[in-house]
Structure 1
Amino acid sequence: MAIGIIIYVGAKYQFLLKQEYMKNYEALTFILFSSIFPIGIGILLRLPKLIIEIKENRQWTFDWAKFMGVGLPSLGVLSMCVLIFTPAGEYFIPLVPEVMYSGNFTIQTIAGVVFGFILLDSVKK
């Protein structure tokens, strides 16, 4: 229930930021929130399982293979979406696929949720 409320409030705030972006044409705050919020959602989705694992008496480990194989590529996709809206992004636009800067934030949202989930899923106890 709490995760649903957080998603609802975050989506409402993201909508307000998008309206502000449409008025002032300052995209950076909207883009940053649109990138960080899905990471938080991915973390929240994995958090209950991590709490259960914390209660077990085992040694902490980190699954580097999962993090490097899934987490880093999703972080790369997410950072490309943010990078093109920064002042240095004009140099990277030829390197970024068009689908990432066409105004469709689906790829950015999926990459953020995957990265947040994998970040906590890589931590094992």
Structure 2
Amino acid sequence: MKRFLGYLFMTIFISALVFYGYKIPLDIKENMSFEAPIHVFTILTAIFPVIIGVLMRLPKLIIEIRGTTRLGFDWIKLLAIGGPALYISQMLILYFYTPFGHILPFGGTLVNTDTPIAAVAGVVFGYVLLDSLKMRRKKRTVIR
């Protein structure tokens, strides 16, 4: 029952965060000419899916941390899966705020499309970022 309530609370928390997290940038975009510059909207749009991915992996990470004593990092997983996901998810920032943004591979295609591929890639990167942490139990040595 305790585990069920924990997962239920986390689901409600993430759902509320997703709802309000996507509502705030849309409100900023509607009132952009009056209150906020466009870079605030762009940064929120690029960073928010990564935060959601981290929150989706957080409950399992907490469970793993409780039972382990050694911590490692899986660089291969982070570079192979997280690298392209980070590139795709942050393409909006790279395209508009770097001097070489217009010559990046797939830059114009990803920026000019209405598909949520950047948001999905951001969630994947956030999840893989925490999933790359390796938790190992400390080996017990037997003294004879």
User: TM-score range, shorter-chain basis?
Assistant: 0.7 to 0.9
- Is residue 113 of structure 1 aligned with residue 123 of structure 2? yes
CA distance in 1 between partners of 2:115 and 2:28 (Å): 14
Aligned with 2:66 (options 46, 49, 55): 55
Letter in 2 for 1:92: G
Q: 1:40 maps to which residue? A: 51
CA distance in 2 between partners of 1:35 and 1:79 (Å): 6
Q: 1:102 maps to which residue? A: 112
Superposition RMSD on alpha carbons, in Å?
2.0
Whichever of the two has the greater Rg, that structure is: 2
CA distance in 1 between partners of 2:71 and 2:30 (Å): 44
Query: By percentage of residues, which structure has more helix?
Result: 1
Among the aligned pairs, what percent are the same residue?
Answer: 35
Distance change in 2, residues 1:100/1:27 (3 Å) = farther
8 Å contact from structure 2 (residues 46, 93) kept in 1: yes
Of structures 1 and 2, the one scoring higher in RCO (CA 8 A, sep 6+) is: 1
The alignment's TM-score, normalised by the length of structure 2, stands at: 0.75
CA distance in 2 between partners of 1:77 and 1:59 (Å): 32
**Long gaps (5+) in structure 2:** 1-11, 136-144
- Output one character per residue of 1:45-98: Cα deviation in whole Å (capped at 9) or x when no partner: 000100110110341111111101001111112232211122x34x43133423
- More divergent stretch after superposition (42-51 vs 91-100): 91-100
Aligned with 2:102 (options 74, 93, 98): 93
The alignment's TM-score, normalised by the length of structure 1, stands at: 0.85
Aligned with 2:84 (options 73, 96, 104): 73
CA distance in 2 between partners of 1:74 and 1:12 (Å): 24
CA distance in 2 between partners of 1:66 and 1:113 (Å): 15
CA distance in 2 between partners of 1:31 and 1:79 (Å): 10
Deviation for aligned residue 1:8: 1.1
- Is residue 15 of structure 1 aligned with residue 26 of structure 2? yes
Q: Tell me the secondary structure at the aligned position of residue 60 of structure 1.
A: strand
**Long gaps (5+) in structure 1:** none
How many residues in Structure 1 have an aligned counterpart in Structure 2? Answer: 122
